[in-house]
Amino acid sequence: MKLELRGITKRFGSLTANDHIDLVVEPGEIHALLGENGAGKSTLMNVLYGLYQPDEGEILIDDVPVTFAGPGDAMAAGIGMVHQHFMLIPVFTVAENIELGHERVHGILPRIIGRLDRRRARREVQEISERYGLAVPVDALVQDLPVGVQQRVEILKALVRDAKVLILDEPTAVLTPQETDDLMKIMVALKESGTAIVFITHKLREVRAVADKITVIRRGKVVGTASPDSTPAELASLMVGRPVKLNVDKEPAQPGGAVVEVEGVRILDDGGAVTVDDVSFTVRGGEIYALAGVQGNGQTEITEALVGLESVDAGRISVAGADVTRMSTDHILGLGVGYVPEDRLHDGLVSSFSVAENMVLDLYDQAPFSGRLNLDLKHIAAHAEQKVEEFDVRTSSIGHAASTLSGGNQQKVVLAREMSRPLKLLIVAQPTRGLDVGSMEFVHKRIVAERDNGAAVILVSSELDEVLGLADRIGVMYRGKIIGEVPAGTDAEEIGMLMAGQTAENGETAS
Amino acid sequence: MSTTAPVATPETPAPAPAKRHRSQAWDTALVTLLSFVTALVIGAILIAIADRQTRDSFQYFGHYPGDTFRFAWSAIWHTYQALFYGAVYNPNTASHGTLVGYLGPISETLTNATPLIAGGLAVGVAFRAGLFNIGGQGQIIIGAVFAGFVGFHWHLPAGIHLVAAVVAGLIGGALWGGLAGLLKARTGAHEVITTIMLNYVAINLLGYLLSVRGFQAPPYGQAIANPVDSNAQLPLLLGDSMRVHAGLLLSIAAAVVVWWLLTYSRLGFRLRAVGANPAAARTAGMSVENSYVVVMLISGALCGLAGVSQVLGTNPAITGDIDSGIGFDAITVALLGRANPVGTVFAGLLFGGLRAGSPLMQAYAPNELVQVIQALIVLFIAAPAVIRAIFRLKTSGTSVGADLAKGWNG
């Protein structure tokens, strides 16, 4: 099946998200759609999947124009989509999830009180998973499966519905390096069996590894196509529209005295399960310590404990010589700690507040931003103007609500705020998540600058490239423990293995 | 992780801030006004249906449709005219040439508006901090009991007595509201539930107090407390023949204070941040729990002020009906005023007018209709999508309805 998009244009009010986009996907090819955040990749795919109607242009399947009123039409036409956030029901089994929506039933009035034909469903799922070499435990509950396997279930869902074109929207964002490799293998296998794949991503390495064709989108327009042989730098500059430096420029660290000392910390979640288990590490001034790991292995909890947002069950944490194990967040921040939370919209910003208000969210009660009772709106505004300038936050007014900013600019607001006072410790969690290559470069530069000013930096990241590029020392977390601590320059594969729970000594999964 | 929402890029600048803000405020005002107008129109239909003559004439609608329309129009006109006469200006009484003839209706509107403004501010300020205070009734009652008790039990010199009674009322309300805040902060108990329950406690506590000697006024047997000393009464503003009293000035002053608090104060910044995003507020080192307690103390004190204006002004003796529905109308007022102090003052005046006008309306339409109209106004404001659909307005910004829903979850 050949899929063609011709002159697709989609506008939202005054914004043109897709501007006359042409795209041809041949059977049996992996077509990468590369672009920054907000470039219009997802909009285009939503048009293709029938979720949006294009304002102009047409979709052709085997040279015949078609219109999709909704995802149902797209699916019927052989287009399958795997969303970035899985659409699975956690308490259903794999087979149930795959059959969902086109279940086989029998009985007297099958449409109303039909009985599910579970046997046939299992058989069908079994069969299709073998045909494509996508191993899944058919009877396991989805909630018990690792993310990578859940993703396979999503892919199978599309294949069961006879998808000839598979859209994968940022499929590797949630995967470990190993799972990513597995996915790549699956993609190649699918391609060889004749399925076309549209692969949406902004990760250059992956594109170069599997794509047959690369289409780069910038600001809603196709700015070019590239071959997989292009260098990362070429692809990046095509994406961003200017030359981009991909490596982080930094001098070797000059560590000073210990700033953070974490000793035997254990943290329990609300249900009493251990999320952080006997974790100890030390971070010195002037070095970047990375807590690497796949998300959900305790990194979030330990960083929240560092700033007093999570209560510590056992162990001790000290920051800049003060015992902060039971200290309030307010006091900890007052010690000279900057904290950029992982989820900036949820924890870092008040999205209905203006940019100026957000710039002082944790400084509003200090001079010069307030007196005894009142706020000093003039100082707050002046501060915001200056930071917006310094951090190149793209907003037409500091009075705009933070929700009107793009993700990258929101992140810059949080960073600008946290870096606007002298820091002894900077904690940054997933600082470049969702950021495009251009903003990423800037954020990395600022983090290194803080280090060079003598601050201790704790970096939490699930991006291996980021960890490798920034960190001076790396602690890898797996299931609540630090299972390995390695110096900068350790090779990616070893860290990737650690992230998957494999230590070099035993070579098997630690748990 | 590309988002579907297109980002603002240098090529696509967002509209200028001033323009944007103005249009949003205008939009809000327009929807509010249209809600009011729509409620009046539907009210008019109900008035026509409730009118016997109109109904009777409808039976021969086929022969003389004019009658139906004439009677309906007459009923609607008279009812709304009565509302206007009762609330704003009554030419019949004005022709007497006395001051009360001219200003009587306005005085009534202001008198009714006084506790509604205070109560509306109370609900609004809690709203801004993410809490839904439905406990106005209880807080007003306790505020009134405290103020009334100090008013009749103590005997102090003029001036001092009034100040003491007012302060007692504020404290009473604050304690009752603060209790709900404390429960929320300490145990996570939802304020909607605790404030409702505290309403029952307050109502029945009042009922009990009104049967206790020393509280109850002689001759015993009636559910009315001792009258408040004249020293402790709020002075009347327009002479003895009109009821409007200095409580109005206190309510307006409270509106100014709340406006300052929310716009220019450190505390207000914290309360607003907690209300808009408690997770981010906590991450920024603010104490969310403390904020809940503080805002409920403030909210309760403002309800206490409503109680004060009732018991030291409008009706200077505690009765079982001292709240007279203000606690719940205050929610409506806060909604209509969009939890904004200035808006709340206007909304309070509007509802004061509706209350002042309803006695005269009864001659032409059932009294319940006034409440129906009030309910319809709120309905349309809480569901602005309906108004937008009727008048084909474009969607923009968030609705108070959405905020309300958030308040429930918070």
Q: Which two tokens stand for residue A313?
A: 């069950």
Together in a domain, A97 and A226: yes
Task: For chain B, give the mean pLDDT.
Answer: 87
Radius of gyration of chain A (CA): 25
Of B11, B265, B284, the CB nearest to A361: B284
Domain annotation covers residue A278: yes
Residue with tokens 């309070």: B348
Together in a domain, A82 and A218: yes
The answer to whether the Cβ–Cβ distance between A373 and B267 falls below 8 Å is yes
Q: Which residues lie closer than 8 Å to B233 by C-beta, 6 or more apart?
A: B151, B162, B245, B312, B313, B316
Phi/psi region, residue A107 (left: phi>0; alpha: psi -120 to 50; beta: rest), is left
Percentage of the residues of chain A whose pLDDT score is greater than 90: 43
Residues of B within 8 A of A351 (CB-CB) are: 276-277
Percentage of the residues of chain B whose pLDDT score is greater than 90: 60
Return residues 237-276 of A near B (CB < 8 Å). none
* Domains delineated in chain B: 88-409 (1.10.3470)
Give Cα separations from A443 to A37, A433, A436, A468 (angstroms).
16, 11, 11, 15
pLDDT band at A504 (very low <50, low <70, confident <90, very high): low
Residues of A within 8 A of B7 (CB-CB) are: 37-38, 406-409
Q: Any idea what the CATH number is for the domain that residue A105 is in?
A: 3.40.50.300
pLDDT of residue A509: 46
pLDDT higher than threshold 60 for residue B19: no
In whole angstroms, what separates CA B114 from the centre of its chain?
Answer: 9
Contact call for residues B317 and B227 (beta carbons, < 8 A):
yes
Domain annotation covers residue A459: yes
Together in a domain, A160 and A215: yes
Q: Which residues lie closer than 8 Å to A342 by C-beta, 6 or more apart?
A: A300, A303, A429, A430, A433, A460
Together in a domain, A90 and A181: yes
pLDDT higher than threshold 60 for residue B13: no
Of B12, B266, B398, the CB nearest to A374: B266
Of A267-281, A340-354, B19-33, least confident by mean pLDDT is: B19-33
pLDDT band at A482 (very low <50, low <70, confident <90, very high): very high
Together in a domain, A326 and A206: no
pLDDT per residue over B167-193, tens digit each? 999 999 999 999 999 999 999 999 999
Of A200, A375, A404, the CB nearest to B2: A200
User: B286 to chain A: nearest residue by CA?
Assistant: A330
Of A245-249, A386-390, A493-497, least confident by mean pLDDT is: A245-249
pLDDT of residue B17: 40
Together in a domain, A34 and A89: yes
pLDDT higher than threshold 50 for residue A510: no
Return residues 8-27 of A near B (CB < 8 Å). 12, 14-17
pLDDT band at B204 (very low <50, low <70, confident <90, very high): very high
- 10 Å CB burial of residue B66 (0-12, 13-18, 19+) is exposed
- 10 Å CB burial of residue A301 (0-12, 13-18, 19+) is buried
The answer to whether the Cβ–Cβ distance between B269 and A407 falls below 8 Å is no
pLDDT of residue A71: 86
pLDDT per residue over B100-159, tens digit each? 899 999 999 999 999 999 999 999 999 999 999 999 999 999 999 999 999 999 999 999
pLDDT of residue A506: 55
Mutate to test the interface with B, among A10, A11, A15 (most CBs of B within 10 A): A15
pLDDT of residue A434: 67
* Nearest one of A460, A368, A378 to A421, comparing CA atoms: A368
**A404: helix, strand or coil:** helix
A377 at B interface, C-beta within 8 A: yes
pLDDT higher than threshold 60 for residue A440: yes
Of B12, B280, B398, the CB nearest to A350: B280
Domain annotation covers residue A341: no
Give the phi and the psi of residue B158 in degrees, each rounded to 5.
Answer: -55, 150
Return residues 81-110 of A near B (CB < 8 Å). 84
Domain boundary among A187, A212, A240: A240
The answer to whether the Cβ–Cβ distance between A14 and B12 falls below 8 Å is yes
ipTM computed for the complex: 0.82
Together in a domain, A263 and A285: yes
Of A173, A334, A341, the CB nearest to B283: A341
pLDDT band at A246 (very low <50, low <70, confident <90, very high): low
Together in a domain, A219 and A81: yes
The answer to whether the Cβ–Cβ distance between A400 and B14 falls below 8 Å is yes
Domain annotation covers residue A330: yes
The answer to whether the Cβ–Cβ distance between B279 and A346 falls below 8 Å is yes
- 10 Å CB burial of residue B53 (0-12, 13-18, 19+) is middle
B280 at A interface, C-beta within 8 A: yes
pLDDT per residue over B48-74, tens digit each? 988 888 888 888 888 888 888 999 999
Give Cα separations from A358 to A362, B273, B309, B410 (angstroms).
8, 9, 39, 21
Domain annotation covers residue A51: yes
* Separation of alpha carbons A255 and A285, rounded Å: 5
A173 at B interface, C-beta within 8 A: yes
pLDDT of residue A511: 43
User: B275 to chain A: nearest residue by CA?
Assistant: A350
pLDDT higher than threshold 50 for residue B160: yes
Domain boundary among A240, A267, A286: A240
DSSP string, B116-172: HHHHHHHHHHHHHTT----THHHHHHHHHHHHHHHHHH----TTHHHHHHHHHHHHH
pLDDT higher than threshold 50 for residue B2: no
Domain annotation covers residue A469: yes
pLDDT of residue B3: 39
* Separation of alpha carbons B70 and B93, rounded Å: 27
pLDDT higher than threshold 90 for residue B250: yes
What angle (nearest 5°) sits at the alpha carbon of residue B283, between those of residues B279 and B289? 65
In whole angstroms, what separates CA B408 from the centre of its chain?
Answer: 19
Mutate to test the interface with B, among A362, A392, A433, A439 (most CBs of B within 10 A): A362
Structural domain harbouring A413: 348-421
What one-character DSSP code corresponds to residue B268?
H
The end-to-end CA distance of chain A, in Å, is 46
Together in a domain, A83 and A129: yes
The answer to whether the Cβ–Cβ distance between A364 and B266 falls below 8 Å is yes
pLDDT band at A470 (very low <50, low <70, confident <90, very high): very high
pLDDT of residue A442: 86
pLDDT higher than threshold 70 for residue A454: yes
The answer to whether the Cβ–Cβ distance between A330 and B282 falls below 8 Å is no
What one-character DSSP code corresponds to residue A288?
E
Together in a domain, A33 and A105: yes
Q: Which residues lie closer than 8 Å to B193 by C-beta, 6 or more apart?
A: none
Tally of domains in chain A: 3
Summarize chain B as % helix, strand, coil (round to 5): 70, 5, 25
Residues of A within 8 A of B20 (CB-CB) are: 400
User: A372 to chain B: nearest residue by CA?
Assistant: B266
User: A435 to chain B: nearest residue by CA?
Assistant: B1
pLDDT per residue over A163-216, tens digit each? 899 999 888 877 777 788 888 998 998 999 889 999 988 778 888 889 999 999
Together in a domain, A207 and A256: no
Domain annotation covers residue A342: no
Contact call for residues B117 and B345 (beta carbons, < 8 A):
yes
The answer to whether the Cβ–Cβ distance between B12 and A351 falls below 8 Å is no
Q: Which long-range contacts (CB under 8 A, 24 or more apart) does B66-74 make?
A: B72/B48
Of B3, B8, B20, the CB nearest to A37: B3
Domain annotation covers residue A42: yes
Give the phi and the psi of residue A216 in degrees, each rounded to 5.
Answer: -105, 130
pLDDT per residue over A285-303, tens digit each? 999 999 998 777 889 899 9
pLDDT per residue over B394-409, tens digit each? 654 444 444 443 444 3
A46 at B interface, C-beta within 8 A: yes
Of A170, A365, A405, the CB nearest to B1: A170
A126 at B interface, C-beta within 8 A: no
Q: Which two tokens stand for residue B221?
A: 């047997």
Together in a domain, A332 and A396: no
- Dihedral sign of CA atoms A394, A397, A398, A402 in order: negative
Domain boundary among A205, A240, A275: A240
Percentage of the residues of chain B whose pLDDT score is greater than 70: 90
**B185: helix, strand or coil:** helix
pLDDT per residue over B386-395, tens digit each? 778 888 776 5
* Separation of alpha carbons A85 and A155, rounded Å: 13
